Homo-oligomer: A and B are copies of this chain.
């Protein structure tokens, strides 16, 4: 097996980090809010835990399988577009050459330079197609091995994120106590997670932390009042 280059390693780890962020964002928010909502409407921690675990399983599978299928679709889409561009370069080269020319003029080149550049770029069919895929269609070749890895990472992160707020209901006697501890633990986790997520993506970390916590609190608060409203009817 060849050693992956430094750049590939960097890309792989950041794709994984991105998947962890996607899974954790939703996992920390939705099961937390659902459990909080139910704790205002039912008397048994067992019910909150049952619903919470069902949600975590449902959400993990929906997100993981959804992500896997979306990744597979992306790979198929790229292959189909690549085949089409290859066919077009063979069958209607003058149309495709015109597209390259238009693209280069759109970049800001003079007609003469664009003409020269277009002739160079369309000399080799392989290079021509690569250029069209990347700069006309904006498509980068997706990594086929990425889809299953990505699915597992998102599902796992969602489950980990969801178990954090739910753990409070395991360790307390009533749904009300569970809600108190779940809220404290989860808001703290959302603040810390939002802080690091923002630093990772180059955003101001403090506002990022507050936004993340506010989203969780808004979802939990709304779920709490809706569940209480429904149960009282």
List chain A positions with a Cβ less than 8 A from chain B: 25-26, 29-30, 33-34, 37-38, 41-42, 46-47, 49-51, 53-55, 57-59, 61-62, 65-66, 69, 73, 76-77, 80, 104, 107-110, 113, 116-117, 120-121, 124, 127, 130-131, 135, 138, 201-203, 211, 214-216, 218-220, 222-224, 226-227, 230-231
Task: Give, as a whole number of angstroms, the nearest-CB distance from A118 to chain B.
Answer: 10
> Chain B contacts of A109 at CB under 8 A?
117, 120-121
The reply to whether B53 and A230 contact each other, CB–CB distance below 8 Å, is: yes
| Residue among A65, A203, A216 with most chain B CB within 10 A | A65
> Chain B contacts of A124 at CB under 8 A?
108
The reply to whether A58 and B42 contact each other, CB–CB distance below 8 Å, is: no
The reply to whether A57 and B218 contact each other, CB–CB distance below 8 Å, is: no
Report which of B25, B37, B62, B77 forms a contact with A57, defined as CB distance below 8 A: B37
Q: What number of copies of this chain does the assembly contain? A: 2
The reply to whether A113 and B108 contact each other, CB–CB distance below 8 Å, is: no
The distance in angstroms between the C-alpha atoms of A51 and B30, with both chains bound, is 12
| Residue among A65, A69, A108 with most chain B CB within 10 A | A108
Report which of B38, B46, B65, B117 forms a contact with A51, defined as CB distance below 8 A: B38
Report which of B61, B73, B127, B138 forms a contact with A33, defined as CB distance below 8 A: B61
> Chain B contacts of A59 at CB under 8 A?
30, 219
The distance in angstroms between the C-alpha atoms of A160 and B130, with both chains bound, is 42
Task: Give, as a whole number of angstroms, the nearest-CB distance from A226 to chain B.
Answer: 5
Knowing A66-B25, A108-B131, the reply to whether A30 touches B58 (Cβ < 8 A) is yes
